[in-house]
Structure 1
Amino acid sequence: MRKLKETFFSRRGLYLREIKKYSILLTFFFLLVVSFYIVKSYLTALLSAFIFAYLVFPIHKRMRKTLGNSFSALISVALVLGVIFIPSLLVFGGIAQQIISYFSTNGSQLLETLESSKLVGKLGIQLNSLDNISTYLISLFSSALKFVPSMLVFLLITIFSMYYFILDWDKLSAKLRTYLPFVNKEKVARDISEVTRSIVYGTFLVAVIEFVIAALGFYLLGVNFFLLLAALVFLLAFVPLGPAVVWVPAVALYLLRADYFTAIGVLVLGLVLSFGIDTIARAKLVGNKTNINPVVMLLGIFGGVPLFGLFGFVIGPLILAYTLKIMEEVFSPV
């Protein structure tokens, strides 16, 4: 009888421990799902903040020795705002102004050309006056204004998150390493760091340099929509062929117009962008340690932008590259 009681209580204790274990797991899973839905709308802001924090952390690391951790993090955030966010807003404003200016000056001529076009006739598009185009542009602008509050919230979360990421970067990176479920944690962490460096420094910064040089070059050559073309150069710096997709058609267009001076100027600028900046700057910033497959970059951009918005062209390739590195570690022979 005594033995039976001991067996009963022993099994009862075992069952209770199992129930407790699974209850903890279910509670953790439930909280994880709820937490995901809470931050889901702001996931892009958090990932963007992480990228910018990674970008300026080397500067913060040098400054904090003399300025202190908090003040140095604040200056680093101000640096990102001054160098990336504010210029980006000015560029978007400049592109919009160039487009509006072009349509206000050449709108009637463009309308006549479109009306006489056989393609427009075949498509059954009616362009009776500029009022239709104006009404469409106004409605488009009104729709865009609805996104201003959400964009402000996005910006606020990005700035605050970036500040705390920079402030606690050492603790954060150390904690993330402990969470890596691999035997060779240091190797995986090093591989991920190299991939991040390759994409953030070797691609993003190269794209920024190419944008600045392209905008300045197109402006000095008197090319229309120089900011829009420079923005395309920036975006295409992430994919194979890159800036050549912009400057090669531009050279062909100016040759057809018999504007040989501008054609030669754009050709020289294009060669500097495609071969000089892309090769030399990328090698200086990253070296040859990590080469991201162009297909990964391409899929990451086209898949990342619809999912994560504007910053998807960096976040998408990063996530794909991280996944491939982790798969290499998981399936590598022990």
Structure 2
Amino acid sequence: MNFEKKRRDWFVVGISVILILLITVMFRALLNPLIISGALATVLIPFHNSIKKHLPPAFSSFLITTGVVIFIVVMLMVSLSAVFANGEYIQEVVNSIFALLSIDGGVLGLDVNPVVFDLQSIINGIITAVQGSIGEILGATAYYSIIFMILFLFLYLFILYGERMFHEIWSLVPTESKPKISILNALISDSLYSLIIVHVGIALIVFFAALPFFMILGYGHVLFWSVICGIFALIPVFGPVVIIAFLAVYALSLGDYFGLALILVIGWPLLCAIPDWYLRPVLMGKRSKLNAVLIFIALFGGIAVMGVMGFLYGPLALAILTGVYRICVEEFGGKSSILQDTSP
């Protein structure tokens, strides 16, 4: 069907746009789950296409969505188990740091003597606070439970019907516009794919790199520190830096200057600087063909402006702006290459 020659009812189109805008405003709290699930589906649909050759599509989508839920739950359980299983050790480490601060009236003029970290007292204080705000906490828990449930329901639907919806919308694009719009489509899909895959991959790299480092450091609890570093690596920039700074102060409290040197000279570059400042933007640039410096700005600028969600929205905004730039340059007869990754 030739859509260009078909007479459109612009009144109906206008009413439809107004209704969509009203619904978007009313349900704006669901935009984050919608966008996150769409980004995840972009990465997971290729796996769905492979699995549905052997299983019904609905069951394939259900299996993949369930796998994502199980992965997240396992990560949370591992994190909590690592903390609670090493509660006494964490208490010992923090008490050692407080002991450093209490020497000779404190450090940098901080009078923290006598401060002793008591994990049990902190837990009791948290329990007391929870008991005093049980209504608000239950309400917030119910709200976020519903949000996460909706996120995974969106994910299931996007995996199952996302590709079909894309082709239906793509069929409405005029033929002469498809080559230019495909530039934007490729940039967005490649950026989302590289963002999620690289994000998880960096966390695994940090975990495996941390194992030999903490063996050499000699503070024991190697698996605990490695798991914590891997989990914190899921928080770009700030994650592993917090652990390294904490360890540096702990080494100083022990008077272990050799360990402090190892942490600053080897630990910080290995677990923080190289993964976040080099590997993350470069690996993302390899798939999306975007300049690594721009990806660096998009990642960290997004986090600075929008918080944790900025790690998704920053690169997504960069992909859209880059796509628009390339489309405009091509439309007016130019050739764009300045924003591409030209590294060997």
With the shorter chain as reference, the TM-score category is: 0.5 to 0.7
Q: Which residue of 2 aligns with 1:66?
A: 54
Among candidates 283, 296, 299, match of residue 297 of structure 1: 299
Greater shift, 255-264 or 191-200, is seen at 255-264
Say yes or no: does 1:168 pair with 2:161.
Answer: yes
Q: Which residue of 2 aligns with 1:321?
A: 318
Say yes or no: does 1:34 pair with 2:34.
Answer: no
1:49 and 1:162 in contact (8 A); partners too: yes
From the superposition, tell whether residues 141 and 96 of structure 1 become closer, same or farther in structure 2 (CA, over 3 Å): farther
Count of paired positions: 303
Q: What per-residue deviation string (whole Å, max 9, x for no partner) do you get for residues 89-133 of structure 1?
A: 2244246537854565577777676675366867x9997997985
Among candidates 184, 188, 213, match of residue 184 of structure 2: 188
From the superposition, tell whether residues 302 and 72 of structure 1 become closer, same or farther in structure 2 (CA, over 3 Å): same
Structure 1 residues not aligned, in runs of 5+: 1-19
Q: Percent of counterpart pairs with the same letter?
A: 16
Among candidates 195, 199, 208, match of residue 199 of structure 1: 195
Q: Which residue of 2 aligns with 1:12?
A: none
2:43 and 2:192 in contact (8 A); partners too: no
Secondary structure at the residue paired with 1:170?
helix
2:97 and 2:250 in contact (8 A); partners too: no
From the superposition, tell whether residues 112 and 134 of structure 1 become closer, same or farther in structure 2 (CA, over 3 Å): farther
Q: Which amino acid aligns with 2:302?
A: G
Q: What per-residue deviation string (whole Å, max 9, x for no partner) do you get for residues 174-223 of structure 1?
A: 2454577993222221222222233222x313233234325645665526
Q: Which amino acid aligns with 2:84?
A: Q
Q: Distance in 1 between matches of 2:122 and 2:54?
A: 57
2:195 and 2:312 in contact (8 A); partners too: no
The structure with more radius of gyration: 1
Q: For the aligned residues, what is the CA RMSD?
A: 4.7
Q: Distance in 1 between matches of 2:213 and 2:282?
A: 22
Q: Which residue of 2 aligns with 1:11?
A: none
Q: Distance in 1 between matches of 2:122 and 2:245?
A: 30
2:40 and 2:155 in contact (8 A); partners too: yes
TM-score by length of 1: 0.68
1:251 and 1:266 in contact (8 A); partners too: no
Say yes or no: does 1:156 pair with 2:149.
Answer: yes
Q: Distance in 1 between matches of 2:280 and 2:12?
A: 57
Secondary structure at the residue paired with 1:234?
coil
Q: Which amino acid aligns with 1:233?
A: A
Superposition deviation, residue 301 in structure 1: 2.0
Superposition deviation, residue 37 in structure 1: 2.9
Q: Which amino acid aligns with 1:303?
A: V
Which structure features the higher share of helix residues? 1
Say yes or no: does 1:90 pair with 2:86.
Answer: no
Say yes or no: does 1:233 pair with 2:227.
Answer: no
Q: Distance in 2 between matches of 1:169 and 1:297?
A: 26
Among candidates 73, 79, 82, match of residue 67 of structure 2: 79
Superposition deviation, residue 161 in structure 1: 1.0
Q: Distance in 1 between matches of 2:125 and 2:100?
A: 19
Q: 1:209-224 to 2 correspondence within 5 Å?
A: 209-213=204-208, 216-217=211-212, 220=215, 222=220
From the superposition, tell whether residues 41 and 139 of structure 1 become closer, same or farther in structure 2 (CA, over 3 Å): farther
Q: Distance in 2 between matches of 1:275 and 1:113?
A: 30
